Amino acid sequence: MKVAIYARYSSDNQRDASIADQLRMCRLHAEKQGWQIVEEYSDHAISGSSLLRPGIQALISDATRGCFNLILAEAMDRLSRDQEDIAGLFKRMSYSGVKMFTLSEGEVSHLHVGLKGTMNALFLKDLADKTRRGQRGRVEAGKSGAGNSYGYDVVKKLDANGEPIRGDRTINEAQAEVVRRIFRDYAAGKSAKTIAFSLNRDGIAAPSGGDWGFSTINGNPKRGNGILNNEMYVGKIVWNRQRFVKDPDTGKRQARPNPESEWVIQEAPELRILDDDLWNAVKARQGENRTERDESGIADVRKMNHRRRPKYLFSGLTKCACCGGGYSAISATLIGCSTARNKGTCDNRVNIRRDELEARVLNALRTKLVDPEMFARFCEVFTQEMNRLRMEGRAGIASAEAEIEKTEHELAKLLTAIKAGGPIEAIVEDMKRLEARKSELRTFLAEAEEPPPLLHPSMALQYRKRVQQLYEALQDEEEEKRIEAADILRSLVNQIVLTPVDGKVEIDVQGDLAGILIISAQTKNPAGGRGGSQVKMVAGAGFEPAAFRL
């Protein structure tokens, strides 16, 4: 029996020793059973409410490839606490012929998945309810209900039983003076960008410990985040303004506003940093700067959507080589490093005309990407990846075909045994089992993806033709064609790195050559469902990290 061990501890149990303890107990059990441990997987300080964990994903991937026959864990809640996830994991492992075994439950069955899955889901809900109840109690007692805010220090002290008292805060005078400075400057008419630049120039650390940005100051008034919206600065603690829900597809938490009737507001005059006049002056200026609304109070959605769309061909793709920040407009025609302008922490002050950037990049894509040597190199790398995927795909198919042949041979033996007068009931049970397995294998073969196709001989011609068509479409007078071509081109360019050299800008275009190949082939998935086969390249004379400069 080939066994894989899995261990995990969550963020509410920050103890690396927990992993070692789980692995040790699982090893002892495997040794007693005479099982062979082929791999160990673990996730550190990650909640079990989602399967988006590197350790469990690696385990699932290896299980589907037949690397082991059994998964061993301390308990089912180590694998997952989510009902849907544990049921899906059990279903996938059953399909792959991999059993699940835990020290607490033994061999995991459908009954365990149903009952324990429900219990674990209820545990998570109960834990969340208790946490919120505790937070609310602290807020109503005039204490902080969540994390710490800039301008305050956490007060660490213990109660009579030696347990930590949570939620107490005290004013940090140095940071409080920075808060007052931000509010005074904003009320005086300075923009958040200018204030951030000034703070960085004076060497004042931001709340995160890094550099100030205008978003740290502006925040979101509706959500109450950002320096200018923190009501604690006027002695009010506002809790339950929003809640967080987990996206079932990505596992990421998404903020959702709560109705104002559910907010909990508590006066805390000992935490006041600002006077009401300064606070109200800032709120008045924020009101003036909001998006214009119509008579019904609804913002013009069309204008907002238009503002969110990429206005220019390479908007959001240009990066500064010195600091990694983006390039943004500094005038109607010029773009420059936004970090240098907004934060003052980058020394790159070399700008470039937007039309010049677009022309140079488009010409490079049209000429460099059809270079015969580079395309030949790409075909070599792409073919190697295709062959690797073909081998992996054929391995599972060949194994299933061989097992079907073996099963049919065993069935023939059983028929012979019946004719010879063997125990019919036992033989019939074996035949049913073999027939069920053969049916599973045939279903697998029917649903198995075909290995990815080889490159077509005319692919190079189609590829060059497609690149030229993209370039011509960008010059088309019809707006719809230009937008479509621009969207395709943006999807193929990962980023454009701009480097200042002797007062000029050198351009590195990093893109996805395989993407153009896929479009040229007009096939949805030439890589057999494995997106990793799209070879990322730097647009230049090959696939090496060194990019060509425009």
Domain 2-125 has CATH 3.40.50.1390: yes
- 66 DSSP 8-state letter: T
**Average pLDDT of every residue of the chain:** 75
Task: Give the pLDDT of residue 296.
Answer: 45
H helical segments located in 141-264: 173-187, 192-201, 214-218
Q: Is 441 helix (H, G, I), strand (E, B) or coil?
A: helix
- 299 DSSP 8-state letter: B
CB 396 within 8 A of CB 448: yes
Query: Distance between CA atoms of 27 and 264, rounded to whole angstroms?
Result: 50
Domain range 169-290, CATH architecture: Alpha-Beta Complex (3.90)
Task: Give the pLDDT of residue 465.
Answer: 66
CB 239 within 8 A of CB 139: yes
Task: Give the pLDDT of residue 533.
Answer: 28
Instruction: Classify strands 264-267 and 504-511 as parallel, antiparallel or unpaired.
Output: unpaired
pLDDT at 464 over 60: yes
Q: Is 487 helix (H, G, I), strand (E, B) or coil?
A: helix
CB 227 within 8 A of CB 219: yes
Domain extents in the chain: 2-125, 169-290, 295-393+454-550
DSSP per position, 28-44: HHHHHHTPEEEEEEEEE
Task: Give the pLDDT of residue 77.
Answer: 83
Q: For residues 140 and 434, which has the higher predicted lDDT (pLDDT)? A: 434
Task: Give the pLDDT of residue 37.
Answer: 94
| Range in 102-116, 309-323, 506-520, 535-549 with the lowest mean pLDDT | 535-549
For 407-429, what is the mean pLDDT? Answer: 77
Query: Distance between CA atoms of 267 and 232, rounded to whole angstroms?
Result: 9
End-to-end CA distance of the chain: 58
For 160-183, what is the mean pLDDT? Answer: 85
What does R_g of the chain's alpha carbons equal in angstroms?
31
Query: Distance between CA atoms of 327 and 508, rounded to whole angstroms?
Result: 14
pLDDT at 514 over 70: no
In this prediction, residue 428 has a pLDDT band, given cuts at 50, 70 and 90, of confident
DSSP H/E element including 100: strand 99-102
- How far CA 278 is from CA of 40, 127, 194, 207, 260, in Å, comes to 59, 41, 19, 21, 24
Judge if 2-125 and 169-290 fold alike in CATH terms. no
| Range in 101-110, 162-171, 258-267, 448-457 with the lowest mean pLDDT | 448-457
pLDDT at 426 over 70: yes
Task: Give the pLDDT of residue 34.
Answer: 93
- How far CA 372 is from CA of 90, 298, 480, in Å, comes to 50, 55, 32
Query: Distance between CA atoms of 424 and 429, rounded to whole angstroms?
Result: 9
Q: Is 219 helix (H, G, I), strand (E, B) or coil?
A: coil
- Range from 242-251, 371-380, 418-427 that averages highest in pLDDT: 418-427
pLDDT at 519 over 60: no
pLDDT at 507 over 70: yes
- pTM above the 0.75 mark? no
Query: Distance between CA atoms of 240 and 301, rounded to whole angstroms?
Result: 28
> Which residues does 445 contact at the CB level (< 8 Å), separation at least 6?
397, 400, 401, 404
- 13 DSSP 8-state letter: S
Task: Give the pLDDT of residue 517.
Answer: 46
Condensed to tens digits (0 to 9), the pLDDT of residues 200-236 reads 988 999 988 888 888 889 888 777 788 998 888 888 8
pLDDT at 379 over 80: no
Task: Give the pLDDT of residue 301.
Answer: 43
H helical segments located in 293-371: 301-308, 338-342, 354-367
Q: For residues 338 and 401, which has the higher predicted lDDT (pLDDT)? A: 338
pLDDT at 528 over 60: no
For 154-178, what is the mean pLDDT? Answer: 82
Condensed to tens digits (0 to 9), the pLDDT of residues 28-85 reads 999 999 999 999 999 887 776 677 788 888 999 899 899 999 999 998 888 887 777 8
Residue in 267, 227, 221 with CA at minimum distance from that of residue 242: 221
